[in-house]
Amino acid sequence: MTWFQALVLGLVEGLTEYLPVSSTGHLLLAQRVLGIPRSPAADAYAICIQAGAILAVLGLYRARVAQMLQGVIGRDPAGRRLAIQLAVAFVPAAVIGFLFNDRIDDLLFGLWPIVFAWTVGGAAIFLLRGRSGGRALEALDLRTALLIGCCQCLALWPGTSRSLATILGGVLLGVSLPAAVEFSFLLGLLTLGAATSYSALKHGDEMLAAFGMAPLIIGFVASAVAAAVSVKWLVAWLQSHGLEVFAVWRIGLAGVVAVLLTAGVLVSG
């Protein structure tokens, strides 16, 4: 892997990780465009550079993370409640992912399944636009947290988007859009952190042998910077706009990729 390929993949990961467009789908597409064939090492690289995006959100939401840490040691009841809710929301996708990870890889990690998921997700945004809950993050309960976690399971299908599933799920359950976005970001710290750690332990040696340390560092740094910019932009955008722009992007990109696949310019697998 060249430094340019690593930079592009890091930027794609960081820009798309927390947007409701599916970072996995964009990374798989970017790898094909860059001529990087699919392999356990390439898949592990795409997952491990998520650590940069995780670091960016940790920095941006450090006050909320500190509140939860205070709650864990018994000094902040609200922080403890939120930490428990995030832990509960994390469980469904962790269990399903652990049980069916290999099956998901075999069936769904291709550009055609991603095109389908991009299209369905875009249609869902249009169908559900105008819906808005009113509950703040502090008013979240365990049942709602668990149901949002169940929604996150949909994102095990590449192209769906973890952010889209959890944000729309939260809004449909009566959570305000800003609260749903923040809960999605915080839940991502657990979900992405677990996925990154698992992939690094399972395929880390293979990844380093194939690509070396330098591309990993470049991808990590690019991901962190791009994610910080992306998250700040998304929060500002949603203060006066909805999610429709992401529906247009998803459906438009799905159409372009479908044409390229049909023409043989891109290969799905």
The answer to whether residue 213 scores a pLDDT higher than 90 is yes
Q: Which of 28-37, 43-52, 131-140, 249-258 has the lowest mean pLDDT?
A: 131-140
3-state secondary structure 124-187: HHHHHCCCCCCECHHHCCHHHHHHHHHHHHHHHCCCCCHHHHHHHHHHHCCECHHHHHHHHHHH
For residue 239, which phi and psi values (nearest 5 degrees)?
-70, -25
In degrees to the nearest 10, what's the CA dihedral of 239, 243, 246, 252? -140
Q: pLDDT above 70 covers what percent of the chain?
A: 97
| Average confidence score pLDDT of the chain | 90
The answer to whether residue 23 scores a pLDDT higher than 80 is yes
Residue-range domain boundaries for the chain: 3-262
| Higher per-residue pLDDT: 38 or 50 | 50
For residue 175, which phi and psi values (nearest 5 degrees)?
-95, 140
Q: How far apart are CA 247 and CA 252, in angstroms?
A: 8
| Residue pair 145/85 in contact by the 8 Å Cβ criterion | yes
The tokens describing 264, both together, are 């043989």
Confidence of residue 267 (pLDDT cuts 50, 70, 90): confident
The tokens describing 269, both together, are 């697998």
Which pLDDT score, from 0 to 100, does residue 3 have?
A: 93
Confidence of residue 21 (pLDDT cuts 50, 70, 90): very high
Nearest by Cα to 238 from 166, 172, 182: 182
Which pLDDT score, from 0 to 100, does residue 133 have?
A: 65
Query: Is the whole-model pTM more than 0.95?
Result: no
Note the pLDDT tens digit of each residue in 156-186.
888 899 999 999 999 999 898 889 999 999 9
Count Cβ neighbours within 10 Å for each residue of 29-49 and write b for 16 or more, e otherwise.
bbbbeeebebeebbbbbbbbb
Q: Which of 11-20, 116-125, 234-243 has the lowest mean pLDDT?
A: 234-243
The tokens describing 206, both together, are 């293979």
